[in-house]
């Protein structure tokens, strides 16, 4: 370790200075963050620093660049955190010092003060709801720390509840008295219960008014309901005929208790063209996991056909899968979309298409798909579809098959993450049952059930812990007839979005000693990743993959149709590290994985792919 004489330390002190908030030197990195308390500190320093956007460098994480404005925001965030825990007099003072080497030391000084608890709730003017119902709605408990942030949020929701019951002009005044404890006083002026008067539509030029009115969940004479108003606005917009929709209630001065509704719309242009370029996950036509691709899409849309809500479009899509750059994927499709089906508000689409996927085996599909989509919410989506397909598949180098397929599919998806491209917290859940029939030389039926759950947790220094569990099950009807199915109907494991220790599904089968297997009837897959930003656009990840497959083996005597073949479990797991490059199109991933256990060879498998594994 180099030594430094005492007189050399004197000029070093001249380089340390406290910088006032009105100025900031450029390109400063954060050396450390110091959490101090003038009285007591009820929360651990790690909890406090976890609230901040500014981060000091730790382990492999570089930390965040210093910003005076972000420091001020962090101080306000910490102060609000204390206030929300009942420390109503809390104060947070931020400062920083710059040392030599463009390093910043951040100081957060906290005066938390007394913690105030809710002593009593007084409610006056309420008629629609009792005091007990209001207290329960606000989530208040006498004796617990008073949280003014929660109260204000819940009060806004309470106002919306009153407006759902026709109380359009509801007014709630919040007052608190602090004297050792907190007494909350709510003065409620409910006002009249409003009925809906005249409904007018403004902005129509070519579209008949009926296409707007049929989307409304209310009519003249109904009690005003804010929730139905917002949902009706969403339905009119989702009809695909309008680019903007606004619904404005207006109180009648001449007739108290009546609110007229004005619906303002802006009609969409009849024709539009959409162009996009980005990374995508191409669905495997068989039972495998998606393949990542660089894809380009062009869509031409023609809306308001015959001045109705019908619209049609042509989609042209091409892509390159990194595992097979010599043969691109493509999709050509014609779509007809309507928000109403058989007089019901059930959006439907009819697609005529042809697509081609070269990897892991070459498959070309042509067919028609009819999809029914129930009302989509922010997080939930249900979909059902009927499919009529003709499938040309390459079974081996010299063998190809053609078969017709009919299918009934259902899908439920819950989307609860903060960012679909790079999630840091939340959950995604998918459930996909389907019934399928293949029609070649003979007719065969089978069903699938697939479930996929993904969880993301944001932990220290912007690290993300992510894990996925996927279960898939396939059975033929009658049972035990797996030998009649072609390989592209069965499940597989291996590849950049599955078991990364094996370059492709066929390599996993070979390593497991079942290279003759057609595929799997049952599949289990688990992926665990720790993702962290490193520097600039570069991130890192550590991962473990594990999977099991119940494969189907052909019978020894292929001429004996009474022998159904054998089923065998194979399993494998791997571990590795990876580098991610963040681009405007999404992350690019370079993984190095080692098969473990009985598959250990000491040789890594390298995978390059677009987007995260899951």
pLDDT band at 22 (very low <50, low <70, confident <90, very high): very low
The whole-angstrom separation of Cα 275 and Cα 259 is 44
Please give the Cα distance from 178 to 152 (Å, whole number).
17
pLDDT of residue 23: 46
Cis status of the peptide bond prior to 350, with omega within 30 of 0: no
Q: Looking at residue 483, what is its pLDDT?
A: 58
Cβ burial 279-305 (10 Å sphere, 16+ → b, else e): bbbbebbbbbbbbbbbbebebebebbe
pLDDT value for 5: 31
User: Quick one: CA dihedral 384, 390, 393, 399, positive or negative?
Assistant: positive
Q: Are 438 and 485 a contacting pair, CB within 8 Å?
A: yes
At residue 486, the pLDDT reads 79
Instruction: Check residue 127 and give its pLDDT.
Output: 93
pLDDT higher than threshold 60 for residue 482: no
- Count the neighbouring beta carbons within 10 Å of the beta carbon of residue 609: 24
- pLDDT per residue over 398-447, tens digit each? 677 888 999 999 999 999 998 888 899 999 999 999 999 988 766 788 99
pLDDT tens sequence across 303-344: 878 777 888 999 999 988 877 777 788 999 999 999 888 878
Nearby residues of 79 by Cβ (< 8 Å), 6 or more positions away: 90, 91, 92
Per-residue pLDDT of 135-152, as tens digits, reads: 999 999 999 999 999 999
Q: For position 288, what pLDDT does the model report?
A: 65
295 token code pair: 């894809």
Q: Is the pLDDT of residue 121 over 80?
A: yes
Q: State both tokens at 47.
A: 């909890």
- Whether 6-111 and 195-267 share one fold: the answer is yes
**Rounded CA separation 515/553 (Å):** 9
- pLDDT per residue over 268-296, tens digit each? 888 889 898 888 777 766 556 777 788 89
The domain over range 6-111 is classified in CATH as 3.40.50.720: no
Does the pTM of the predicted model rise above 0.95? no
Q: 272-610 maps to which CATH number? A: 2.40.160.50
161-210: pLDDT as tens digits: 999 999 999 999 999 999 889 999 999 999 999 999 999 999 998 888 99
In degrees, to the nearest 5, what angle opens at C-alpha 200 toward C-alphas 199 and 203? 150
Task: Count Cβ atoms below 10 Å from residue 351 Cβ, excluding itself.
Answer: 18
The pLDDT of residue 435 is 94
Sign of CA dihedral 508, 510, 513, 516: positive
Which residue has tokens 């309420």?
A: 126
CB 306 within 8 A of CB 241: no
Interatomic CA distance for residues 5 and 266, integer angstroms: 76
Strand 519-535 and strand 118-124: the pairing is unpaired
Contacts of 602 (CB under 8 A, 6+ apart): 594
Domain boundaries, the chain: 6-111, 118-189, 195-267, 272-610
| CA neighbor of 87 nearest in space, from 112, 119, 120 | 112
Q: What is the mean pLDDT of residues 560-581?
A: 80
For 41-194, where are the E strands, in sequence order?
91-99, 103-111, 118-124, 171-179, 181-189
Alpha carbons 524 and 305: distance in angstroms, whole number: 47
Residue identified by tokens 């899509």 is 317
- The chain-wide mean pLDDT, for the chain, equals 86
Instruction: Provide the residue count of the chain.
Output: 614
CB 393 within 8 Å of CB 366? no
For the segment 496-512, what is each residue's pLDDT rounded down to a tens digit? 889 999 988 888 988 98
Q: Is the dihedral of CA 323, 325, 326, 332 positive or negative?
A: positive
Spatial CA neighbour of 573 closest among 601, 540, 541, 597: 597
118-189 has which CATH code?
3.10.20.310
Q: Considering only CA atoms, which of 292, 136, 309, 276 is closest in space to residue 611? A: 292
For 247-260, the pLDDT digits (tens) are 999 998 888 999 99
Q: How far apart are CA 600 and CA 30, in angstroms?
A: 42
Under a CB-based contact definition with an 8 Å cutoff, are residues 85 and 51 in contact?
Answer: no
SS3 463: coil
> 552-558 long-range contacts, Cβ below 8 Å, gap at least 24?
552/482, 552/483, 552/490, 552/517, 552/518, 552/519, 552/520, 552/521, 553/514, 553/516, 553/517, 553/518, 554/483, 554/516, 554/518, 555/483
The C-alpha atoms of residue 278 and residue 474 are separated, in whole angstroms, by: 33
Write down the pLDDT at residue 158: 95
Bridge partners for 277 per DSSP: 296
Per-residue 3-state assignment (H helix, E strand, C coil) for 361-399: CCEEEEEEEEEEECCCCCCEEEEEEEEEEEEEEEEECCE
Query: Taking 70 as the threshold, does the pLDDT of residue 72 lie above it?
Result: yes
Per-residue b or e along 488-526, where b marks 16 or more CB atoms closer than 10 Å to that residue's CB: bbbbbbbbbbbbbbbbbbbbbbebbebeebbbbbbbbbb
Q: Please state, in angstroms and rounded to a whole number, the distance separating the CA atoms of residues 494 and 474.
A: 18
330 sits in which H/E element? strand 324-338
Residue 12 banded pLDDT, cuts 50, 70, 90: very low
Question: Which range, of 23-27, 354-358, 502-506, 572-576, averages the lowest pLDDT?
Answer: 23-27
125 CB-side CA count, 13 A: 13
CATH ID of 195-267, from 3.30.300.30, 3.40.50.1970, 3.10.20.310, 3.30.479.30: 3.10.20.310
Q: What is the mean pLDDT of residues 465-476?
A: 94
What is the bridge-based pairing of β-strands 181-189 and 118-124?
parallel
Two tokens, residue 194: 């409003």
């Amino acid at each position: 370790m180099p030594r430094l004489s005492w007189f050399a330390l004197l000029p070093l002190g001249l380089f340390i200075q406290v910088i006032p908030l009105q100025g900031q030197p450029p390109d400063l990195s954060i050396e450390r963050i110091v959490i101090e308390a003038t009285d007591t500190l009820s929360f651990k320093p790690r909890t406090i620093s976890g609230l901040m956007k500014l981060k000091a460098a730790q382990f492999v994480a570089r930390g965040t660049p210093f910003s005076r404005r972000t420091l001020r925001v962090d101080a306000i965030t910490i102060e609000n955190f204390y206030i929300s825990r009942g420390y109503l007099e809390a104060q947070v003072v931020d400062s920083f010092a710059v040392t030599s080497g463009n390093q910043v030391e951040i100081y957060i000084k906290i005066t938390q003060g007394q913690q105030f608890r809710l002593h009593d709730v007084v409610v006056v003017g309420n008629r629609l709801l009792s005091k007990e119902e209001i207290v329960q709605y606000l989530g208040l408990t006498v004796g617990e720390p008073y949280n003014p942030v929660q109260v204000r949020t819940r009060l806004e929701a309470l106002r919306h509840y009153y407006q759902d019951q026709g109380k359009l002009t509801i007014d709630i005044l919040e007052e608190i008295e602090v004297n050792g404890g907190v007494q909350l006083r709510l003065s409620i002026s409910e006002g009249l219960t409003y009925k809906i008067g005249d409904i007018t539509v403004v902005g129509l030029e070519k579209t008949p008014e009926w296409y707007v009115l049929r989307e409304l969940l209310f009519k003249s004479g109904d009690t005003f309901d804010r929730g139905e108003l917002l949902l009706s606005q969403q339905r009119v917009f989702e009809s695909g005929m309008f680019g903007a929709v606004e619904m404005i209630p207006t109180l009648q001065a001449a007739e108290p208790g009546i609110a007229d509704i004005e619906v303002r719309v802006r009609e969409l242009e009849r024709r539009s063209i959409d162009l996009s370029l980005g990374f995508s996950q191409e669905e495997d036509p068989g039972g495998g996991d998606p393949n990542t691709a660089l894809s380009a899409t062009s869509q031409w849309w023609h809306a308001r056909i015959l001045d109705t809500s019908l619209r049609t479009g042509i989609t042209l899509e091409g892509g390159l899968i990194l595992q097979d750059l010599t043969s691109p994927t493509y999709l050509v499709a014609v779509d007809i979309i309507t928000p109403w089906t058989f007089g019901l508000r059930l959006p439907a689409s009819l697609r005529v298409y042809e697509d081609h996927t070269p990897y892991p085996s070459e498959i070309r599909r042509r067919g028609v798909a009819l999809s029914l989509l129930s009302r989509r919410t922010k997080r939930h989506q249900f979909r059902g579809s009927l499919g009529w397909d003709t499938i040309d598949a390459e079974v081996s180098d010299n063998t190809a098959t053609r078969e017709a397929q009919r299918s009934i599919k259902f899908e439920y998806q819950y989307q609860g993450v903060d960012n679909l491209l790079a999630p840091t917290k939340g959950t995604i859940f998918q459930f996909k049952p389907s019934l399928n029939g293949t029609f070649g030389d003979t007719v065969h039926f089978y069903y699938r059930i697939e479930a996929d759950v993904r969880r993301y947790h944001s932990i220290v220094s912007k690290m993300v812990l992510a894990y996925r569990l996927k279960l898939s099950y396939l059975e033929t009807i009658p049972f035990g007839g797996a030998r009649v199915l072609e390989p592209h109907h069965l499940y597989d494991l291996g590849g950049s979005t599955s078991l990364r220790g094996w370059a492709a599904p066929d390599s996993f089968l070979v390593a497991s000693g079942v290279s003759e297997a057609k595929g799997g009837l049952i599949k289990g897959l688990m992926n665990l990743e720790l993702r962290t930003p490193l520097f600039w656009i570069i991130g890192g990840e550590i991962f473990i993959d594990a999977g099991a497959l119940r494969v189907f083996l052909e019978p020894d005597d292929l001429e004996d149709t009474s022998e159904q073949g054998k089923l065998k479990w194979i399993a494998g797991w791997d571990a590795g590290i990876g580098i991610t490059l963040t681009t405007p199109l999404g992350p690019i991933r370079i993984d190095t994985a080692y098969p473990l256990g009985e598959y250990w060879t000491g040789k890594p498998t390298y995978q390059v792919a677009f987007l995260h594994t899951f």
